[in-house]
């Protein structure tokens, strides 16, 4: 037996023959200290609906439930994991709902119950995680359907999410995250904490939506940052040529010889609002 009265995770993985599949980015977290730490980082779960993406054999799911998650809705693409998740669901009646399917095709705002806080928690393959994060950051409705996001990324990606202007890691991801949230790296996770171990160190990022982000059209902000950072070594008058170039920059009072990574988020917003 384990801390929660369920069989140890290794036994669950063996019994259900859940050999990790590379194509699904499966690196399972079996370390209870770490899954517990992620659950604590996510904040108060006792009144929240937790949306967990990619529960796999359920290690993090079990930590979230043990830390009092009122209700978890978990989306898992790998059908092999469903029987193991069903065992957890029976152990915590009414608290875990598993939706088999692809998170990239999921309508997340519809999973929220009006008036109840939602916290998103996930240890996902990195490409899926980045794509979902960008979607969640660019939600049309703001404040958005979630109260926080606690997500695992490769450390290099985590550093891009929390990057400040002037740093080499600052780019489109940092502008979007900083525009709409307060984001911080909560802690790093070494490769050997996972089964099988990935090649690089990972980090857990915690993001809380800003109540009132600077007003900007999401589409325009995306286009400006994409063009500016697409040629990050060039001066802005060159990289933004197709979007108004020097005229636009002068209109909003930004020196056209500056480069993208020197611009603050407020300056990007000004450009998006004039473009
Ligand atoms: N949460 C578990 C843990 O921490 O041990 C598993 C993490 S593993 C890195 C990623 C999980 O996401 C796997 O269970 C995988 O099957 C699932 N997954 C991968 N792509 C997915 C997608 N597009 N939609 C939903 N789940 C996905």
pLDDT of residue 209: 97
Question: Does ligand 1 have an atom closer than 6 angstroms to the CB of 102?
Answer: yes
- What's the whole-model pTM score? 0.95
Q: What is the mean pLDDT of the chain?
A: 95
Q: Is 55 in the pocket of ligand 1 (CB under 6 A)?
A: yes
Q: Which two tokens stand for residue 29?
A: 């977290």
- Check residue 115 and give its pLDDT: 86
Token pair of 238 as six digits: 């060159």
- Kindly report the backbone phi and psi dihedral angles of residue 124, in degrees, each rounded to the nearest multiple of 5, phi listed first: -120, 160
Lookup result for tokens 């500056």: 258
Query: Using CB atoms within 10 A of its CB, is residue 79 exposed (0-12), middle (13-18) or buried (19+)?
Result: exposed
Map residue 34 onto helix, strand or coil: helix
Closest-CA residue, ligand 1 atom 18, reads: 54
**What is the token pair recorded at 217?**
């059209």
Helix (H) or strand (E) holding 93, with range, is none
Residue 154 has a pLDDT of: 97
Instruction: Compute the distance from residue 8 Cα to the ligand 1 centre, in Å.
Output: 19
pLDDT in tens, 152-199: 999 999 999 999 999 999 999 999 999 999 999 999 999 999 999 999
pLDDT in tens, 126-155: 889 999 999 999 998 899 999 999 999 999
What's residue 255's pLDDT? 97
Neighbouring C-beta atoms of residue 274, cutoff 10 Å: 15
pLDDT value at residue 211: 86
Residue nearest to atom 8 of ligand 1 (CA): 26
Using a 6 Å cutoff on CB, does residue 239 contact ligand 1? no
Here the contacts of 21-27 (C-beta below 8 Å, separation 24 or greater) are 21/78, 24/77, 24/78, 24/125, 25/124, 25/125, 25/126, 25/127, 25/128, 26/56, 26/78, 26/125, 27/123, 27/194, 27/195, 27/196, 27/197, 27/198
Altogether, the residues listed in the chain come to a count of 275
Cis peptide before 196 (omega within 30 of 0): yes
**Which atom of ligand 1 is least distant from the CA of 35?**
4
What per-residue confidence (pLDDT) applies to 1? 60
- 186-238 residue pLDDT tens: 999 999 999 999 999 999 999 999 988 888 888 999 999 999 999 989 999 99
The pairing of strands 96-100 and 148-154 is unpaired
Atom of ligand 1 nearest to the CA of 128: 23
Q: Is the ipTM of this complex over 0.85?
A: yes
Query: What pLDDT, on a 0 to 100 scale, did the predictor assign at position 215?
Result: 85
What residue segments make up the domains of the chain, in order of their start?
9-209, 218-274
What is the distance between the terminal CA atoms of the chain, rounded to a whole angstrom?
61
- To the nearest whole percent, how much of the chain has pLDDT over 90? 89
Cα gap 64→72, rounded to integer Å: 8
> What digits encode the pLDDT tens for the residues 64-109?
999 999 999 999 999 999 999 999 999 999 999 999 999 999 999 9
* CATH code of the domain occupying 218-274: 1.10.8.100
Task: Give the pLDDT score at 129.
Answer: 94
CATH classification for the domain delimited by 9-209, as one of 3.40.190.10, 3.40.50.410, 3.40.50.150, 3.40.1260.10: 3.40.50.150
- Residues pairing with 209 in the sheet: 181
């Amino acid at each position: 037996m384990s801390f929660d009265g369920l069989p140890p995770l290794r036994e669950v993985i063996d019994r259900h023959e859940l050999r990790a599949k590379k194509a699904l980015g499966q690196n399972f977290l079996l370390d209870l200290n770490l899954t517990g730490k992620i659950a604590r980082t996510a904040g108060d779960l006792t009144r929240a609906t937790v949306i967990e993406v990619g529960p796999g054999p359920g290690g993090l799911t079990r930590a979230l439930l043990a830390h009092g998650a009122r209700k978890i809705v978990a989306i898992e693409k790998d059908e092999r994991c469903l029987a193991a998740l069903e065992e957890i669901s029976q152990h915590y009646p009414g608290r875990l709902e598993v939706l088999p399917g692809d998170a990239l095709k999921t309508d997340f705002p519809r999973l929220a119950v009006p008036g109840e806080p939602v916290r998103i928690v996930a240890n996902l393959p990195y490409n899926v995680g980045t794509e979902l994060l960008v979607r969640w950051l660019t939600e049309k409705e703001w404040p958005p359907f979630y109260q926080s996001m606690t997500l695992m990324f490769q450390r290099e990606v985590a550093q891009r999410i929390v990057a400040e202007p002037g740093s080499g890691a600052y780019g489109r991801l940092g502008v979007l995250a900083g525009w709409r949230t307060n984001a911080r790296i909560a802690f790093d996770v070494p490769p050997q904490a996972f089964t099988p171990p990935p090649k690089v160190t990972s980090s857990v990022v915690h993001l809380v939506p800003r109540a009132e982000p600077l007003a900007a059209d999401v589409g325009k902000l995306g286009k400006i940052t994409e063009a500016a950072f697409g040629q990050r070594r060039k001066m802005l008058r060159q990289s933004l040529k197709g979007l108004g170039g020097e005229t636009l920059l002068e209109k909003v009072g930004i020196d056209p010889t500056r480069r993208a990574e020197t611009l603050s988020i407020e300056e990007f917003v000004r450009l998006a609002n004039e473009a």
